[in-house]
Amino acid sequence: MAAQWRKSSYSGAANDEQCVEVGRLEGGFTVGVRDSKGASDGPSDEASGGVVRLSRFELGALVAELKARPVR
């Protein structure tokens, strides 16, 4: 099953190069996070810049940590 990627709602314009995408991987039990600049919808996202794979729990913990940090 191919990942269904979507851009962060904080990314701005459609052609904004400063954004990340998230997608469900491996039957929905794993979430992928990737930089959209190197994104490829081909069979190997790793070849296009990489994907960070997280469980739903790990993604939730990451988002909570980022929200708790002051904005620079």
Instruction: Give per-residue pLDDT as tens, 13-59.
Output: 666 666 788 888 877 789 988 887 766 555 444 445 688 899 989 99
Domain range for residue 57?
4-68
> Which pLDDT score is estimated for 38?
63
Which residues fall within 8 angstroms of residue 5, CB to CB, at 6 or more apart? 21, 22, 23, 32, 34, 39, 41
Per the CB < 8 A criterion, the answer to whether 28 and 34 are in contact is no
> Which pLDDT score is estimated for 66?
85
Q: How many distinct structural domains can be found in the chain?
A: 1
* pTM higher than the cut 0.85: no
Distance CA 17, CA 45 (A): 17
Angle 25-3-58 from CA coordinates, rounded to 5° = 35
